[in-house]
Structure 1
Amino acid sequence: MQTPLELAFRDIEPDEEIKDLVAGKVAHLEGFYDGITSCHVYLRAPHRSQRQGNRYEVTIEVRVPGDELVVRYDQNDVAEHEHLAVAIRNAFAAMDRELKRWKDRVTGEIKTHDGPLQGKVVEIHHDRDFGQIVATDQRLVYFHRNSVVDGSFDELRPRDPVELVVQTDESELGPQASTVRRIGTMQYDPAAKPAR
């Protein structure tokens, strides 16, 4: 990294074992991608509850060329986060996944599908001009009336199959379709030969 690891403790006594654990997790991230420019880790114990104990909050900020990846696990998360080491492990596992997604995106190693991406409409609000599609790659994708080709937005219903093109830049709402086209359902044709 260009700058050393920055580790901050808030409402927690600094502990050498925890420092070593975090340093090891950061080294693992660097082993996966050596272009990380900086990493900031914030550990916090917001408050102690008599019933549930202390739920630790872990925030990890990793800066990579042209981007910043952030993972935050807070006190409202799972009960296992009463143990700081477990909260750290879970937060770094999530950062591992974020870093892998980012690396795949920038190196162009995202899996490509044969043909256009497809999905099914799972939610549609004709009165508010938007809906959501669950795509075959399991993403939930937002779409607006204007993205539906042939002006067929008002004809769309939940469970309708569609083809879609997802914008490369995610909006505040997450993945968003730039183009949605209604398609027919696939029919089984016993006479058709499988493609090889």
Structure 2
Amino acid sequence: MQGPTEITFKDVTKTPELEDLINGKIAKLEKICPQMISCRVMVECPQKHPDTGNPHRVRIDVTVPPSQEIVAKQSASEGDMHTPLETVINNTFKAAEKQLKKLSEKEKGQVKIHPEQQVMGIVTKIFADEDYGFIRTVDTGDDVYFHKNSVLHDDYDRLNVGTGVRFVVHMGEKGPQASSVEIEYQPKPGNIA
């Protein structure tokens, strides 16, 4: 890996066994995608006394060239409240592996994005604190989900409701989602529809 590995524990006891498990899983990701730039893993327990769902949350952010980022996460609301933390970590890394394999296959196939494959749209909702939003396509009027990591040139913070973007639509696990989101125009203040 070209850059650093960051493992953060928040309200979870950091043990050598957990660190070894996570480092082993990161090494497996590196075998799938040797050109990884960085990998950040966050393990936390946001709910001290949950009524439902697993108390643990695991998030994995992997950056690969040319500044593409994949995110795999399991929220505290998902799964059984008695699922061991190690299982939550394993499941989250499996999701990251699946995304990296798909990305690697795409790169090997030399799939190029042509302007005619891109869609124009307007940002209709943005949830800055949660790093995602929705874009309404100009041609069909459908709302398409996008994540901060799918915005090119680190321009996520420049997006506002009404910003015009060009993007590519892919089918995600929960429906259509945008990738390669690029700002085409910014509305002038006071001209937001």
TM-score (norm 2): 0.56
Q: What does residue range 2-81 of structure 1 map to in structure 2 within 5 Å?
A: 2-49=2-49, 51-52=51-52, 55-66=55-66, 67-79=68-80
Paired position in structure 1 for 2:92: 91
SS in 2 for 1:170: strand
Q: Which residue identity lines up with residue 83 of structure 1 in the other structure?
A: P
Question: What 5-or-longer segments of structure 2 have no aligned partner?
Answer: 112-136, 142-165, 180-193
Residue 61 of structure 1 deviates from its aligned partner by: 0.3
Q: Which residue identity lines up with residue 174 of structure 1 in the other structure?
A: Q
Identical aligned pairs, as a percentage?
A: 29
Paired position in structure 1 for 2:122: none
What is the rounded CA distance, in whole Å, between the counterparts of 2:10 and 2:78 in structure 1? 18
TM-score (norm 1): 0.56
Q: Which residue identity lines up with residue 85 of structure 1 in the other structure?
A: E
Change over 3 Å in CA distance of 1:143–1:107 after alignment to 2? farther
Contact map agreement 2:53 2:78 (CA 8 A) in 1: no
Question: What 5-or-longer segments of structure 1 have no aligned partner?
Answer: 111-141, 147-166, 177-196
What is the rounded CA distance, in whole Å, between the counterparts of 2:104 and 2:82 in structure 1? 28
Contact map agreement 1:48 1:54 (CA 8 A) in 2: no
Contact map agreement 1:57 1:73 (CA 8 A) in 2: yes
What is the rounded CA distance, in whole Å, between the counterparts of 1:11 and 1:71 in structure 2? 20
Deviations 1:65-112 (A, max 9, x none): 0201111111011116731100000000000010011111122178xx
Give the number of the structure whose alpha-carbon radius of gyration is greater.
1
What is the rounded CA distance, in whole Å, between the counterparts of 1:73 and 1:6 in structure 2? 18
Cα RMSD of the aligned pairs, angstroms, is: 3.2
What is the rounded CA distance, in whole Å, between the counterparts of 2:50 and 2:97 in structure 1? 33
What is the rounded CA distance, in whole Å, between the counterparts of 1:77 and 1:57 in structure 2? 9
Contact map agreement 1:12 1:44 (CA 8 A) in 2: yes
Residue 4 of structure 1 deviates from its aligned partner by: 2.9
Paired position in structure 1 for 2:168: 169
Change over 3 Å in CA distance of 1:50–1:61 after alignment to 2? closer
Q: Which has the higher contact order (CA 8 A, sep 6+)?
A: 2
Change over 3 Å in CA distance of 1:106–1:44 after alignment to 2? same
What is the rounded CA distance, in whole Å, between the counterparts of 2:54 and 2:16 in structure 1? 20
SS in 2 for 1:18: helix
Contact map agreement 1:11 1:46 (CA 8 A) in 2: yes
Contact map agreement 1:57 1:75 (CA 8 A) in 2: yes
Contact map agreement 2:41 2:58 (CA 8 A) in 1: yes
What is the rounded CA distance, in whole Å, between the counterparts of 1:75 and 1:104 in structure 2? 31
SS in 1 for 2:46: coil
